[in-house]
Structure 1
Amino acid sequence: MPLSDAARALALRCEPRVNELARHMARDSFEQLPGYAELPDDVKDLEIAATARHGVRLFLRRASEPHPGPGGLRLFRERAAQRAEEGMPLHLLLRTHALGVYVLWQALREASEPGEEGALIELVDLLLQSHHSLLGTVAETYMDERSALEAEQRERRRSLVRGFLDGALEPGNALLEELGLDGPALVLAVVLEPADGPDAGPGGPDGGSPVTVRRRMRRVQTVLDHTFGTELLFLFDADAGRAVVPGDCAPPDDLAPRLSRACGAEVRIAAVAVATPEAVPEASRTATEILRIARVCGLPPAVHGLDDVLLEFHLSRPGPSSRRIAALLDPVAARPELLRTLRTHLAQQQDRRLTAALLGLHPNTVDNRLARLAELTGLDLASPRGTALAIAALLLHDTGHEHGAHGSG
């Protein structure tokens, strides 16, 4: 509804005070707000004062024009984005706008005369209508800019972590020194275990969803940050992650169950300590390989170190004989139940009853499967040499299978 002539006349009466009101807001009224006094003088005198002046003029123009056009908020959007980039708290920004409305209301009240109460109410009504729209625009723009800035920071951080872990970032980089990574460190590799076997989704019965997996990995990071008392450089892709902990430290023994409780899924973690930043890339590769070997060997989810899989790690290293050892299992490549039985049997120190219980089989069925595997492959699990060959063949077979799967993707 258009304003009355009396309301427009009252608004026009305030126009000569626009510059004065803007200076009063920027230099007097806003000073009472916590944190405002710390802002640079040029920001107060130039940018904030100019924004206040624009706001007062915009309101008076809308009050005096019968059919004011839309627009006028572009400067507020620009300033909100600028304040977000500079790090001004959102509550301080919104309070300046709210206090500016109060100062303008005081000016209208001072300019009014007896008998103009109705006109004053009309202007206050317009002021409040305009204010909620302005606050919404400012808050939305600020949050959008902060989200964009935080996304850029996360991506820069991810690039830093990836470069450091993969060896593409020079150890003497100033950012690493700033983060305390110019000395000893602990390299961690983390993976969410599949719910039911190697083909199941990671992280529990509903863990196949990428959103669910990301949420769980963020919970993993939260627990790691709390455990080590700092925000770690943590990089995760899908259900696996890597992190670097600054300083000479070791993971607590109960870290894996704590991570599992936090994210609602079984978590396996490997840890490798290094003395210098130059050793981080190799330690990262070693930690990732420890996880793979621990999983292949059927070790329960826990905090794994190299000593836990020392023999298996050595046996799984590629060499001139690797292809021939891996080929020992080719005759049973199409028999996943035999491979699963072998893997479980070796992981349980060749205890046929425990193997049968874990697989839900009768012990005689385990014996029959192992006998069939020995018949097809020639591996004698009753001898130490045959057992060592079986372990090496299984590790190298799985390594070749993984590489082949990645290469075909």
Structure 2
Amino acid sequence: MSLSAEARALAARCEGQVNALARRMAGGVFEQLRGYGELPADVKDVEIAATARQAMRMFLRNAAQGVVAGPLDDGGLGLFQKRAVQRAEEGMPLHLLLRTYTLGAQVLWQAMGEVARPGEESALVELGGALLSSQGRVIGAVTESYLDEQAALAAEHRERRRSLARALLNDTPHPDRPAPDTPVLVLRLEFTPRGALGSVAERRLVRRVQTELDRGFGGEVPALLDAGGGYAVVPGGAAVPDGLLAVLREVADPGVRLAVSLAPDPTGVPHASHVAAEIIRVARACGRPPGVHHLDDVLLEYHLSRPSDGSDRIAALLAPLGDRPDLVETLRIHLEQRQDRRATARRLNLHPNSVDNRLARIAELTGLDLGSPRDAALALAALLLT
């Protein structure tokens, strides 16, 4: 973009006002921005003022040379990109940072108008166009650098939380590890497989679940999550918030299972995580519907599912049903429904007589009499061990 001799002369005359304009911006103009007054004094009075001064001087010097190519050289943009990274690290909102640039451009435009002489209207218009072009490139570079740094900081923060969860689950050192006497609530989440998710969809799912965990417990919850579920560890041992299951069903999976186990201190987290995983396995194996599961909910079943010298022989009792998954499911639901044939029929969407026929076939193949408390217990144990 070439500038006329008149526009170059006007830019050269304005350059002498740069220092005064920068002081004016930092000392008054920027104060009208919401949140600017809360910034540290050194950021306001030194860095932002210095950046504004550099931006104006760069623009005017380029304009005085007659060519605003592109409209700022890459070396000049590097300063603004560096400042944008610093502001992102400090947590300055992006909207506030960008407003300092747009307000700065307004102040410079007004100053050029005040310096312009009669007959220099065309030159002023030229400089206005060049200023808009320059401003667009600066704001684009600043925004890109700020967002890149913000994304990097967010990724670093997420990984730190994940590393804390990993350290607690593996009982390894971590700088953020809770105090030795701190109880830790361990959650095991399991989502119903819905086929392979793309990387974007999986990240979105994990982000939404993490957000709801943080919101529910009122703070950042260390977690290791993926599309199938995972673990969350909550130092302090708080109870599961009311409504958490409902929002997880909404954002992740209507069939979500959430097992809860409490570790008395951080060293107990690995065992508590194992217990939580077993609670879900047992709850699923004995036909419990999805929801929140505690050990007390499946206490007998959990005990029966522990391996022993007779485990293989108990599990073998159901071997004759290996090619009949419908009979295995009927057995599981029938035991879950306290051997109520009508309730079992409703769960399976069958006629009660069909349930009777299936139960008779199970008894014929396995030799188990489900009417006998002993055989019913054996059948339950066999389900839990397979």
TM-score w.r.t. the length of structure 2 is 0.86
Match of 2:83 among 79, 86, 105: 79
Distance 1:75 1:227, change over 3 A: closer
**CA deviations over 1:267-289 (Å, ceiling 9, x no partner):** 32222234333322222221221
Contact 1:257 1:267 (8 Å CA) reproduced: no
Name the residue aligned to 1:242. Answer: 231
Shift of residue 330, structure 1, vs aligned partner = 3.0
CA positional deviation for 1:258:
5.2
Could you tell me which residue of structure 2 aligns to residue 405 of structure 1?
none
**Distance of aligned partners of 1:212 and 1:60 in 2 relative to their CA distance in 1, 3 Å threshold:** closer
Aligned: 1:137 with 2:141: yes
Per the alignment, do residues 100 and 237 of structure 1 end up closer, same or farther by CA in structure 2, a change over 3 Å counting?
same
**What letter is aligned with 1:122?**
E
Letter in 2 for 1:338: L
Structure 1 SS opposite 2:307: coil
Q: 1:61, 1:68 within 8 Å by CA — same for their partners in 2? A: no
Of 143, 147, 151 in structure 1, the residue corresponding to residue 151 of structure 2 is 147
Q: After the TM superposition, which of the residue ranges 312-321 and 151-160 deviates more from structure 2?
A: 312-321
**1:4-35 CA deviation, whole Å, 9 max, x = no partner?**
21111111122344445445544554455444
Q: TM-score, normalised by structure 1?
A: 0.81
Cross-structure match for 1:168: 172
Aligned partners of 1:276 and 1:223: how far apart in 2? Answer: 25
**Which deviations, in whole Å up to 9, do the C-alpha atoms of 1:335-373 show, x marking residues without a partner?**
222222222222222222322332233334333333333
Cα distance, 1:308 vs. partner?
1.0
Report the CA distance shift for 1:40/1:349 in structure 2 as closer, same or farther (over 3 A).
same
- Contact (CA 8 Å) 2:168, 2:177: kept in 1 or not? no
Give 5+ residue unaligned stretches, structure 2.
Answer: none
The correspondence of residues 38-49 of structure 1 with structure 2, limited to 5 A, is 38-40=38-40, 42-44=42-44, 47-49=47-49
Aligned length: 381
| Between 272-281 and 141-150, the greater mean CA deviation after superposition | 272-281
**Aligned pair 1:58/2:58, yes or no?**
yes
Report if aligned partners of 2:161, 2:221 keep a CA contact under 8 Å in 1: no
Corresponding position of 2:249? 260
Match of 1:187 in 2: 186
**Corresponding residue for residue 368 of structure 1:** 357
Which residue identity does 1:350 align to in structure 2? Answer: Q
Q: List runs of 5+ in structure 1 lacking aligned partners.
A: 195-200, 398-409
> Partner of 2:3: helix, strand, or coil?
coil
What secondary structure does 2:98 align onto?
helix
| C-alpha deviation, 1:265, in angstroms | 1.2
Structure 1 pair 213–43 and aligned structure 2 pair: CA distance change class (3 A): closer
- Residue correspondence of structure 1 range 176-325 to structure 2 within 5 A: 176-177=178-179, 183-192=182-191, 194=192, 201-202=193-194, 209=197, 215=204, 218-247=207-236, 249-251=238-240, 255-257=244-246, 259-261=248-250, 263=252, 265-325=254-314
Task: State how far apart, in whole Å, the 2-side matches of 1:311 and 1:169 are.
Answer: 36
- C-alpha distance in 2 between matches for 1:162 and 1:319: 31
Aligned counterparts of 1:18 and 1:357: Cα–Cα separation in 2 = 82
Distance in 2 between the 1:52 and 1:249 partners? 49
**Separation in structure 2 between the aligned mates of residue 310 and residue 300 of structure 1, nearest angstrom:** 16
The residue that corresponds to 1:113 in the other structure is 117
**% identical equivalent positions:** 58
Q: 1:46 to 1:175 in 2, by over 3 A?
A: farther
* Alpha-carbon distance between aligned partners in 2 of 1:29 and 1:6, rounded to the nearest angstrom: 29
Change over 3 Å in CA distance of 1:257–1:8 after alignment to 2: closer
Is 1:122 the counterpart of 2:126? The answer is yes
Q: 2: distance between equivalents of 1:111 and 1:147?
A: 43
Are the equivalent residues in 2 in contact too, given 1:257–1:302 (CA < 8 A)?
no
Contact 2:258 2:291 in 1 (8 A): yes
Find the aligned partners of 2:282 and 2:12 in 1 and give their Cα distance: 80
Cα offsets for 1:186-230 (capped at 9, x unmatched): 3222223x3xxxxxx34xxxx764565665555444444444433
Is contact 1:188-1:272 (8 Å) kept? yes
Any residues of structure 2 matched to 1:94-113 within 5 Å, and which?
94-113=98-117
Q: Secondary structure at the match of 2:350?
A: coil
Give the CA RMSD over aligned residues. 3.0
Residues 16 and 276 of structure 1: is their aligned pair in 2 closer, same or farther, counting only changes over 3 Å?
Answer: same
